[in-house]
Structure 1
Amino acid sequence: MNIFLSRLTFFSALLLLASWHSFAANEAFKFGKIPDDVVTTKTYAPDPEADAAVLSHVGNVKIDYHVSDGFLVNYSVHKVTKILNKDGLSHGDLEIPYYVFAGRKDDVFGIKGFVYNEVNGKIVKEKIEKEHIFDEEVNKNYRIKKISPPNVKEGSVIEISYEITSDLFSYIREWEFQADIPTQWSELTFEYPEYYSFTQATQGYQKFEIYEEKGGTGNAAWTNQERVTNGYTVSSQVSSNSVTYNTTKYHYAVKHAPALEAEPYIDNPWSYSTKVEFQLQSVQFPNSARQILTGSWEKLAEELLQDEDFGKMLQKGAFAKTTVESLIADAASDEEKAVRIYNHITKKMTWDDRVGLYPTKALDKSYKEGKGSAADINMLLTLFLNQAGLSAFPVMTSTRGSGFLNPANPVRYRINYVLTLLVVGEKQILLDATNPSLQFGYLPLHAINFRGFAMIPGQSQWINIGNSAVNSEVMMVNMKILDEELLASVQRNFQGYGAARIKGKIAVDGKEKYTESFSNELKDWDLKSIDWENLDTKDKAVVEKYELVGTSGFEVSGDRIYFNPFEDVYLSENPFKLDGRIFPIDFMYNQKRQMVVNIEVPAGYVVEEMPKGLINQFNEKGLVYSYRISSPSPDKIQIMISYQVNQTLFEASQYAQIKEFFDAIAQKQKENIVLKKV
């Protein structure tokens, strides 16, 4: 979004900011006390183009004593959201996840709220009722309270508060200070007794308005009832007891947090959001031994490998023995065995789009049905590879849209995906069999998420999750100038993600629909024919051949022809538009693209002007681009372009140089070739 002062005069900015003064001075609203001018205002001053904005999001978390249940975690949350236009209407809804684990649970209660609207010049305040609140059971451990407030429209202010009581001490909910819309004020306090020890970790790029830790006190009170015998008389004696204990209190706040928005070449903005997490380290009550509760990824891996619903399933592979023996019968190497098994699983199994750590059913049942979750399919792949005598192990990780796993915070709820690690000699190969269009060794894009933890008995370890395989494309173009238009014959050879994209689209849509979509995307070109080779094989490049006629980048003026064969070609526009950036630049996978364009100069014309060549490199050949042009004969022009991504991740501090690198490419590919009539 554009910076505010670039759109408005300074005087107008002052007027708009003044309209928000009523809550800017007191950042957190009191429940039920939303000022009228907050309801009537039409824009959010710090970001006038926002569809909606979180005006206030305040959480208080406290571990204190309950007579009937002992110590519990108590959450109190109050959120105020402003809807600014129709595109922001969905931000009026709220979802509250809650959990049930092995007899422990969250109890969500006290949900209340209002929707404020301006109607005929007056503020109307409508209550959120029970019929606006729904429950959804996602799985046996995970549920969601869904709140859909009434009469949400442009200009509405939605206010919701709720409470949670939980005995899940090891899972203190993380607090996100940012959202996919701008946030005016986000604040969290967390207070706990001296009997508990927590670590806290913050991440993100926003400045904290408040960041402090201080001490306090709390009190636990209870009663004891004892039977007292006095001769032949038995009576009850009630005594009251209490203890005062010290507490630790964390307090955080962030002001004017911008919306988390997708930018070119970023894996997932939420991976870099400003947030705080807590991890329970130990518990020690008076006159009791200290309990160390901090787990480790190694310990979690051991537990999972011994779990009947996870690791033990890999030992039940008798059903696969005959199939595996047939698949690898004449394989010349271990890697060839693995390729055959991988191809078999991708052909046999259909992914149902579900993710998660645990398989959804017994692996022999999934195999028989031919359909399953990502965990079902990749655990099957691991089992089949083991049955072939190969060293294969499950890898726990999270999907690209779910954030990174934190090595310092070993928690199961962060894990929602399983890959397969194959070890062949000194070589480690990560595999995922959910996409039948991908070649052996290529991971689906949703699975490339920085790191995962390989569960190897006695040797579990962190591994980088990326693609060592190179995504490549070679494009050959022969062009002729016919009267006042161009004829282009194109052949493109794809390996990797480009090949998977074409095969996947044709498999889903069919060739006719794919051709229609391809034709509609062309600018100033007419598609005359198109065909493909190797759509049914994984070990060969997909070949796409087509012919075009059009006027793209072509102009006749007097006795000269001006044309640019790259007007709408890849990299002709710089993908990096912003002046600055706070997130890393992630190209995801290595790339190698080559293009050779042969141009036939029409009779009666000579080459008057050609662009100069260019060789552009950045960060020790992390990015490489070359443009070479020549006229090997009076009637021929040849252009050769090469583009390589050899380093996939760059720091935000390198953004200016990367933007400059792509600027140079875009400018070069805009330059014309000039032919003169003789």
Structure 2
Amino acid sequence: MKIILFTFTCLFFINSFSQKKRSTKIGNVDVHELNMNQYEKDTTANAVVLYEHANYYIDESRDYKKTTDYYFKVKILKKEGTNRATIKIPFYGDEKIHSIKGITYNISEHNTIIKNHLIDKQVYTKDLYRGWKEVTFTLPNIKKGSVIEYTYSVTSPYSKIDDWYFQSDIPKIRSDFTAAILGNWKYNIRLVGFLNLNRRDVSVKKGCVYVPGLGDGACLILDYGIDNIPAFKEEDYMLSKENFISKLCFDLESFQNPRGGVDKYTKTWKDADKTLKYDFLDNQTSKKSFFKNNLPPSLLLINDDLERAKKVYYFIQNYFTWNEKYWPSKKVRIKDAFENKTGNVFDINLSLYNSLKAANIESYLVLTSTRNKAVPTRLHPIIDDFNYLLVKAIINNKTYFLDATNKQLPFGLVQHESLNGDGRTMNFASGSYWETIKLNRKSFRNIKAQLSFNQENSLSGNLMVSSDGFYAVNDRENLNSTDSESYIENFESKYPNIEVINLEHQNLEDKENTLHQIYEITTDPINFETKLRINPFLIDRYTQNPFKLNQRDYPVDYGYPRNHTYMLSLKLPEGYIVNNLPENKVLSLPNKGGRFIINFKNLNNVISVYSRINLNKRVYTSEEYHYLKEFYNQIIKAQDTFIEIEKSSN
């Protein structure tokens, strides 16, 4: 991923400027665009943006507020693309959406252009949540082959400049962003993604503004653009697309006001640490005495540090119920949360932090963000980048990252969704720092089946599924969220050829140890006379490759290494012998990234199958993508195989 940072500042105190004349006007569709039936650079596209443009400026006609004029022209190539005619524009607080215009263009049998205009009564506004609203409209008479063209403006009293997305889920032929930014505003401008700019013109225009009583001023003039932009295609095992999709981001750094003072918006980490501790957390990091008085006294008397830390962790985990909220909308009050026995991520893990402190365990808070958000930037602190909180404990010189929100998490594991790049460890004494979140539990899933043929020509026997780490967390969640009968029904619906006679568990409540699910099973009767073909992979067989792109510019991010093992012992029926066993195979990924082994043996008419998939890395680079994709192709091919047995001639 490429992130280019531009810092621009020009110190003038004038607070008005307009470059409205640079905005693209509606009415730019021709017959050639209407006759276009596919986009040759991406023939799979159901629509393509012919041109789009955003123009940011200070609007003198609207009390010198900040206005962005938007223009879009989109060609509908397939029926599936007609949903592009429905436009949704979110806006916040005192922002205003205005100057909405739209036209649908179609072509007649005589090759003339037919226009259908958007009318005002087709534009709707609705409330969303917490100050957010949305304007919605649908352009009329849309069909395959139409071209839609629409404009609207957003006027805002706020200093925030919205990100401009050069890339989306459909291709674009041209995308431009222009702006005139007042000289007394300083922004850090980031270009995120993998695409290069075709246009980048940055200049300072002196004397571009005149305001009565203040005089002339200067503006920063920006002109950015990219041509022939491919669609951004999402795939499995990726972090938020916000990390990779090509866009411009504007981070407000400071404002020099007419009085000569400078208001800073981008803080140093030293300033950010103070803001977090005093303004947001409001000294909720110093509640050690409260929790010392409210923890069961027996926990604090345990001599062994690790055992004492685990007991405290499981007490907090079992005491609280997570309300499934993350970054709180108001200041944290962990005493109130403790009284109510429920809270958000910050309530619960701040309580854990204070409780560990009360138990004399060296502990720190770690800020992270969930995987559906962009990875927090390292260029400068942006507190809003974070929405998750973990606890770091150091016990006997070993580091543990902890998260008490999910009741199925063992000590030393955190929620998978919080694994979004490195965390920011908050050491309020010496300063915060970035740190890789390392897990103390390995994640694996082992399947062991012992089967033989019964009198009904069905396979019957035992199937044991053993899981640990994140696999055990998921299995325990599923087992505890439904009754046994429903759980078995779900299993049988997933594997319709298998009937579960009985199911037992080991270590269901003991999260410190591997979970075992022991199934007594039988399969559907198998019809055979002299020959039989059996696929040995009864469950967890790979049938589809999660990786389908020819090229993937962003990394594959699993979040954690993982291992899968499958073992089968199959006793042949009397009078039958092995005719053919599949080929043994060993594959390895480059850079010790992983390994796949599959091995077949026949000993005394008992067939043994051993298969193991190791993915040793949390993240695979885009350069390793081709190898990983082919790795899965070979696994699918190896598992789509059959053991052949036949009746003995003796």
Q: TM-score, normalised by structure 1?
A: 0.81
Partner of 1:166: 157
Deviations 1:575-601 (A, max 9, x none): 333333222112211212222211112
For residue 428 of structure 1, the aligned residue among 370, 394, 399 is 399
Residues 1:92 and 2:86 aligned together:
yes
Identity of matched residues, %? 20
For residue 208 of structure 2, the aligned residue among 209, 219, 235 is 219
Partner of 1:103: none
Partner of 2:642: 672
In the alignment, residue 481 of structure 2 is paired with which amino acid? Answer: V
Residues 1:301 and 2:273 aligned together:
yes
Partner Cα distance (1:152, 1:190) in 2: 31
Gaps of 5+ in 2: 1-22
Partner of 1:3: none
Are 1:261 and 1:269, in contact at CA under 8 Å, matched by a contact in 2? no
Partner of 2:104: 116
**Against the structure 1 CA distance between its residues 200 and 528, is the aligned structure 2 distance closer, same or farther, given a 3 Å change threshold?**
same
**Against the structure 1 CA distance between its residues 614 and 116, is the aligned structure 2 distance closer, same or farther, given a 3 Å change threshold?**
same
Correspondence 1:266-305 to 2 at 5 A? 266-281=238-253, 294-305=266-277
Partner Cα distance (2:492, 2:164) in 1: 47
Correspondence 1:120-519 to 2 at 5 A? 123-129=115-121, 132-138=124-130, 143-150=131-138, 155=143, 157=148, 159-168=150-159, 171-224=160-213, 242-245=215-218, 247-281=219-253, 294-307=266-279, 309-326=280-297, 328-356=299-327, 361-457=332-428, 458-465=430-437, 467-482=439-454, 484-519=457-492
Partner Cα distance (2:373, 2:129) in 1: 20
In the alignment, residue 608 of structure 1 is paired with which amino acid? Answer: N
Q: Secondary structure at the match of 1:315?
A: coil
Partner Cα distance (1:57, 1:110) in 2: 18
Correspondence 1:602-613 to 2 at 5 A? 602-613=573-584
**Displacement of 1:619:** 2.7
Are 1:215 and 1:249, in contact at CA under 8 Å, matched by a contact in 2? yes
**Against the structure 1 CA distance between its residues 209 and 339, is the aligned structure 2 distance closer, same or farther, given a 3 Å change threshold?**
same
For residue 563 of structure 2, the aligned residue among 592, 607, 629 is 592
In the alignment, residue 564 of structure 2 is paired with which amino acid? Answer: R
Residue range with higher mean Cα deviation, 340-349 or 156-165: 156-165
Partner of 2:493: 520
Are 1:219 and 1:242, in contact at CA under 8 Å, matched by a contact in 2? no
Deviations 1:416-474 (A, max 9, x none): 22222223353332222221122122222221101221211123101124535211222
In the alignment, residue 61 of structure 1 is paired with which amino acid? Answer: Y
In the alignment, residue 420 of structure 2 is paired with which amino acid? Answer: N
Partner Cα distance (1:605, 1:67) in 2: 88
Partner Cα distance (1:153, 1:568) in 2: 50
Deviations 1:78-135 (A, max 9, x none): 3455675468638724243436xxxxxx633425233638699954322245960123
How many correspondences in the alignment?
Answer: 617
Are 2:579 and 2:646, in contact at CA under 8 Å, matched by a contact in 1? yes
Q: Secondary structure at the match of 2:118?
A: strand
Partner Cα distance (2:404, 2:542) in 1: 32
Are 2:123 and 2:137, in contact at CA under 8 Å, matched by a contact in 1? no
Correspondence 1:612-631 to 2 at 5 A? 612-631=583-602
Gaps of 5+ in 1: 1-27, 100-105, 225-240
For residue 59 of structure 1, the aligned residue among 45, 54, 57 is 54
Partner Cα distance (1:150, 1:653) in 2: 42
Are 2:26 and 2:149, in contact at CA under 8 Å, matched by a contact in 1? no
**Against the structure 1 CA distance between its residues 194 and 120, is the aligned structure 2 distance closer, same or farther, given a 3 Å change threshold?**
closer
**Displacement of 1:188:** 1.1
Partner Cα distance (2:627, 2:174) in 1: 34
Partner Cα distance (1:629, 1:517) in 2: 30
Deviations 1:290-327 (A, max 9, x none): 777642233212221122x4151222454422332536
**Displacement of 1:179:** 2.5
**Against the structure 1 CA distance between its residues 323 and 285, is the aligned structure 2 distance closer, same or farther, given a 3 Å change threshold?**
closer
Partner Cα distance (1:290, 1:147) in 2: 36
* Cα-Cα RMSD: 3.5
Q: Secondary structure at the match of 1:400?
A: coil
Are 1:606 and 1:634, in contact at CA under 8 Å, matched by a contact in 2? no
**Displacement of 1:274:** 0.7
Q: Secondary structure at the match of 2:176?
A: strand
Q: TM-score, normalised by structure 2?
A: 0.84
Are 1:74 and 1:164, in contact at CA under 8 Å, matched by a contact in 2? yes
Partner Cα distance (1:344, 1:350) in 2: 12
